Chains A and B, each alone.
Chain A
Amino acid sequence: MAENDLKVLGAWPSPYVMRARIALNIKSLDYEFLEETFGSKSQLLLQSNPVHKKIPVLIHGDKPICESLVIVEYIDEVWASSPSILPSHPYDRATARFWASYIDEKWFPAMKGIAAAQAEEARKAAIEQVAEGLALLEDAFQKTSKGKDFFSGDKIGYLDIAFGCFLGWLRVTEKMNGIKFLDETKTPGLAKWAQKFCADAAVKDVMPETEKLAEVAKIITAKLRGAGAPPK
């Protein structure tokens, strides 16, 4: 598809980059994946996202689009005919956007807080926060899935992507802290959903292996603890 000149500037461990790639996969779109080197930023990145200088950036033709959820909505709107990513009803769209915002502003920062915690008490408090968040998300799942496999119903959609991209990191966190966040008793819906999500055709090739992520996590954790302050 020559008119779909698509590039993704990203890095394989980034959950935010994964969101863009899953969306492109759902729409069966080919794209060039330009991997950024860890620790440095390419000229193309600095040029395409001068405001934040962050990945992911989707470059469509010569137009850059930044911010992972903005990218997902853009992909859904441009390639509107293929499977839909956002729900069609305005209230369902608002609900999906609400939970995606909650995940980005509260839940994932809490998860990062576990790795950044300097003392045992802070670590336990962060773990508690993450678990509480998962209880809320389990409830949201039950309500929006309406008995189907995914937050969006029969196929993966916006909220599945927004949340599912963090599953690799969630597993790493579980391993490194000897805890189980998603299980059949506490979060039965999410436990099943996680397996189905990771096995989905649009997801499985872009979801990194837990062991590889664990290695990256060790480097980042050392950096976070060394910095002496929790990350933003």
Chain B
Amino acid sequence: MADQVVLLDFWPSPFGMRVRIALAEKGVQYEYKEEDLRNKSPLLLQSNPVHKKIPVLIHNGKAVSESLIAVQYIDEVWKDKAPLLPSDPHLRAQARFWADYVDTKMYEIGRKVWTTKGEEQDVAKKEFLECISVLEGELGDKPYFGGKTFGFVDMALIPFYTWFSVYEKFGNFSVEAEHPKFIAWAKRCLEKESVSKSIPDRQKVYDFVLEMRKKLGVE
């Protein structure tokens, strides 16, 4: 019986991008379903009744929600190819720790950078750059957070790079100017087909946010 895999997603979502990358790494065929978040499908509401959020991975009718949980699920089911987590338990613990760090910091701080003004925005920008510093420290001289190969933490973090144009233009700063090593890491990740095929162009994300702000009458 062939596997039936469906991904409920929204193209600019960094969380959705993580799952797309994981599926691409494993070479899993799946059906991509774009959700209109202002008009959520019955399938989404049924599959993730607790949070009603994307991404949701549906494998042979069973729904898995929360992006990093879905990525781990994918790694465990399609375990014979392209391991996403290291095999050593201590390195696995490190990977989970840093993925959790990305989850608790990147999204919220990034969001504040582009949605706030004045002092609040200045604080957010400072926190954002601190976050990048900490991550650069963890990366060290390794090509990827996973070491020699692209892994769990790289996958958790790279989607936020597609939102950098948004943070930088609305926050009026340049990440590359302060953290060239981080940008070099991001570009290295983009050289991988599983990543470049799974994430949108930064310009597209920026244009989407501009559209959204116009519609909301923000400026």
A, B co-complexed: yes
**Main secondary structure on chain A at its contact with chain B?**
helix
Contact of B89 among A78, A94, A136 (CB under 8 A): A78
The answer, yes or no, to whether B76 is at the interface (CB within 8 Å) is yes
Instruction: Give chain A nearest CB distance to B18 CB in angstroms.
Output: 14
The answer, yes or no, to whether B62 is at the interface (CB within 8 Å) is yes
Closest residue of B by beta carbon distance from A80: B89
Cβ–Cβ contact B50 & A90, under 8 A: no
User: What chain A residues lie within 8 Å of B76 (beta carbons)?
Assistant: 90, 93
User: What chain B residues lie within 8 Å of A67 (beta carbons)?
Assistant: 96-97, 100
B residues 87-101 in Cβ contact with A at 8 Å: 89-90, 92-93, 96-97, 100-101
Cβ–Cβ contact A94 & B70, under 8 A: yes
The answer, yes or no, to whether B72 is at the interface (CB within 8 Å) is yes
Cβ–Cβ contact A98 & B97, under 8 A: no
The answer, yes or no, to whether A32 is at the interface (CB within 8 Å) is no
A78 to B89, CA, bound (A): 6
Number of A interface residues in the complex (CB < 8 A): 21
Cβ–Cβ contact A91 & B134, under 8 A: no
The answer, yes or no, to whether A74 is at the interface (CB within 8 Å) is yes
User: What chain B residues lie within 8 Å of A63 (beta carbons)?
Assistant: 90
Instruction: Give chain A nearest CB distance to B78 CB in angstroms.
Output: 10
Cβ–Cβ contact A102 & B92, under 8 A: no
User: What chain A residues lie within 8 Å of B50 (beta carbons)?
Assistant: 102, 136
User: What chain B residues lie within 8 Å of A206 (beta carbons)?
Assistant: none
Cβ–Cβ contact A91 & B89, under 8 A: no
The answer, yes or no, to whether A117 is at the interface (CB within 8 Å) is no
A21 to B70, CA, bound (A): 27
Contact of A97 among B72, B77, B97, B134 (CB under 8 A): B72
Give the B-binding residues of A (Cβ under 8 A): 51, 60, 63, 65-67, 70-71, 73-74, 77-78, 90-91, 93-94, 97-98, 101-102, 136
Contact of A90 among B66, B77, B96, B134 (CB under 8 A): B77
Closest residue of A by beta carbon distance from B98: A51
List 20 other contacts, CB 8 Å, given A74-B93, A94-B70.
Answer: A60-B90, A65-B90, A65-B93, A67-B97, A67-B100, A70-B96, A70-B97, A70-B100, A71-B93, A73-B92, A73-B96, A90-B73, A90-B76, A91-B59, A91-B62, A93-B76, A97-B66, A97-B69, A98-B66, A102-B50
The answer, yes or no, to whether B139 is at the interface (CB within 8 Å) is no
A94 to B75, CA, bound (A): 11
Instruction: Give chain B nearest CB distance to A1 CB in angstroms.
Output: 17
The answer, yes or no, to whether B64 is at the interface (CB within 8 Å) is yes
Contact of B64 among A70, A73, A78, A94 (CB under 8 A): A94
